[in-house]
Amino acid sequence: MHATMMDYPLTLAHYLERAGTLLGDREIVTRLPDRSVHRYRFGDFHRRARQLASALARAGLKRGQPVATMMWNNYPHQEAYFGVACAGGVLHTLNFRLHPGDIAYIANHAGDRFVIVDDVLLPLFEKVRPEIAAERVFVVALSGQPVPAGYESYEDLLGTGDADDDLPRPEEGDACGVCYTSGTTGRPKGVVYSHRAMVLHTMAMCMTEPFGLSQNDTIMPVVPMFHANAWGLPYGAVASGARIVLPGPHLDPVSLLDLAEAEGVTFAAGVPTIWNGILQALDAEPDRWSLAAGLRTAVGGSAASEAMIRGFDRHGVRTIHAWGMTETTPLGSAAVLKSSMEALDEDTRYDYRAKQGIAMPFVDMRLMNDSGIVPRDGETMGELQVRGPWVAAAYHESDELADKWTDDGWLRTGDVATIDAEGFMKITDRTKDLIKSGGEWISSVDLENALMGHDAVSEAAVIAVRHAKWEERPLAVVVLKEGAEADADALQGHLAGRFAKWWLPDDYVFVDEIPRTSTGKFLKSALRERFEERLVAGDG
């Protein structure tokens, strides 16, 4: 017997049309550079995204050709997310926090034909403009100033399109977007998403578990729209009919809390750095904001500590800890408690919630070490490998790192993890950040999370430093909360009892801030360089 179903393409165009025709009254709110607020509805968004698609096609954009954006989270960016893909093009979100040389490399490597830039980002863009081959640059004038001479206006581009045009019909295997990894080793690598991968990822993320997005939600992606598709939220919101709140360039904790309160945000997403700041603001002034009851936040990109998850619970904010990578679109796993776990004691429930969680539907996960597949005992560490319909099978035009994939077709994530009997995965490190002491692995992430559980600690990064006897030993680099005090002995005392003695850091250094990557993660390579010459002489 053969299946009798239609062969209907899974493309983003369907989500756009459905949003415009069935969910037209849903609102999209953007905080502009001058802090005023722009509002319009899915109906307007649908028309303008179609106009953009038509204008790009009329301007000669061909199937599979990339259009870059250098933009904050705002409504024209949301339009580009759909308009470019519905023109048959490929949305290339440029990470403007990268070094200009890297941005130019990425834009040229992708072959970006057009670029859309926020006017407030023009000073940055001008540093790369001479280096990049893009034919035309369109400026989005959200700051209230006219478009500067020498540039074309995004609004004029839209004016050349017609929302009623017959748009190209992408096939589900066609490319719809490309993101480059930050490339801490070697050049950045391009991950090219297909419509099919994005549609399936969108449906999976909207499910009741993990994120449960619906028309009852007001979603605020704090994660930049250039970071791994803003974790799929620009698509998830349109697919589910959720209200969208885009914070523009104002990402400090007070601005975000003000906006979340004013707009009744029920779901927000961002990296732990952002949430750490927000939690400290809430702790400092617990009565200042009245946030929506049941507010949930997706936290990922680096580990959310148990202390942070507990801290937010005290303010009635529910953290959903998720793991993913640019190569996995990005959602790979999320720590949503199984119903059988609700009866567990509180500490055990927090243990599970602080893990990176169970694999998403359609994502297979395994751990490998030198002896093969690692048992799911929650203790043995191995390299995390994944496969699935929204997992990359290659990088765009790059032969480097062919060993990123195993011979039997799994992506080697570069993360080291454990998986327990419930299937909950826990990241213990990135391969390159592991601390190898006397041949045994120490998890820097576990030590960091425990340190961040100390009342005086704002942030902690633990790195390997050389040791005469043990090869490497942990060094803790600590930022204290403003006005708080703690010395090395106090922190060591806090860790003792939680870890085997040989795991404890040999030394502590106190710094004002921890250097970060362009996506807000600890830049441990910079710390390792800074403390390279530090030979720890503890007894290990």
Judged by the rule CB under 6 A, the positions of this chain that interact with ligand ADP are 181-182, 228, 300-303, 321-326, 356, 413-415, 427, 430, 517, 519, 521
The CA-atom distances, in angstroms, between 292 and each of 16, 253, 320 are 28, 16, 16
Q: Is the peptide bond before 375 cis (omega within 30 degrees of 0)?
A: no
Q: Is 253 helix (H, G, I), strand (E, B) or coil?
A: helix
Q: What are the structure tokens assigned to 127, written together?
A: 């540093």
Q: Which is nearer to ligand ADP, 81 or 231 (CB)?
A: 231
Our answer to whether residue 400 is catalytic in this structure is no
Q: Which is nearer to ligand ADP, 218 or 519 (CB)?
A: 519
Q: Which is nearer to ligand ADP, 30 or 305 (CB)?
A: 305
Q: Which is nearer to ligand ADP, 515 or 538 (CB)?
A: 515
Judge contact between 86 and 56, C-beta under 8 A.
no
Q: Which is nearer to ligand ADP, 226 or 267 (CB)?
A: 226
CB of 113 to ligand ADP, least distance (A): 25
Residues 6+ apart with CB under 8 A from 123: none
CB of 26 to ligand ADP, least distance (A): 29
Judge contact between 113 and 134, C-beta under 8 A.
yes
CB of 333 to ligand ADP, least distance (A): 8
Q: Which is nearer to ligand ADP, 272 or 505 (CB)?
A: 272
Q: What are the structure tokens assigned to 484, written together?
A: 């708080």
* Cα–Cα distance, 394 to 477 (Å, whole number): 36
Say how many Å lie between the first and final Cα of the chain, rounded: 66
DSSP 8-state secondary structure symbol assigned to residue 442 = E
Of 118, 72, 75, 70, residue with least CA distance to 91: 70
Our answer to whether residue 185 is catalytic in this structure is no
Residues 6+ apart with CB under 8 A from 259: 31, 220, 245, 247, 250, 265
CB of 220 to ligand ADP, least distance (A): 19
For residue 252, report the phi and psi dihedrals to the nearest 5 degrees: -75, 155
Q: Which is nearer to ligand ADP, 266 or 356 (CB)?
A: 356
Judge contact between 200 and 388, C-beta under 8 A.
no
Q: Catalytic residue, from 11, 181, 319, 428: name it.
A: 181
CB of 474 to ligand ADP, least distance (A): 18
Element (H, E) at 530: helix 524-530
Q: Are strands 114-118 and 136-140 parallel, antiparallel or unpaired?
A: parallel
The CA-atom distances, in angstroms, between 271 and each of 212, 253, 301, 415, 450 are 19, 13, 5, 17, 18
Our answer to whether residue 327 is catalytic in this structure is yes
Helices (H), 413-458: 444-451
Using a 10 angstrom Cβ sphere, with 0-12 exposed, 13-18 middle and 19 or more buried, the burial of residue 518 is: middle
* Cα–Cα distance, 241 to 235 (Å, whole number): 10
Our answer to whether residue 502 is catalytic in this structure is no
Q: Which is nearer to ligand ADP, 228 or 477 (CB)?
A: 228
Q: Catalytic residue, from 62, 436, 469, 501: name it.
A: 436
The CA-atom distances, in angstroms, between 416 and each of 442, 445, 502 are 11, 10, 19
Beta bridge partners of 366: 385
Taking CB positions, which residue lies at the least distance from ligand ADP?
A: 182
CB of 49 to ligand ADP, least distance (A): 26
Q: Catalytic residue, from 261, 422, 441, 502: name it.
A: 441
CB of 188 to ligand ADP, least distance (A): 9
Residues 6+ apart with CB under 8 A from 232: 198, 201, 202, 205, 329, 330, 331
Q: Which is nearer to ligand ADP, 14 or 187 (CB)?
A: 187
CB of 167 to ligand ADP, least distance (A): 31
Q: Catalytic residue, from 79, 306, 327, 383: name it.
A: 327
CB of 58 to ligand ADP, least distance (A): 35
The set of catalytic residues is: 181, 327, 436, 441
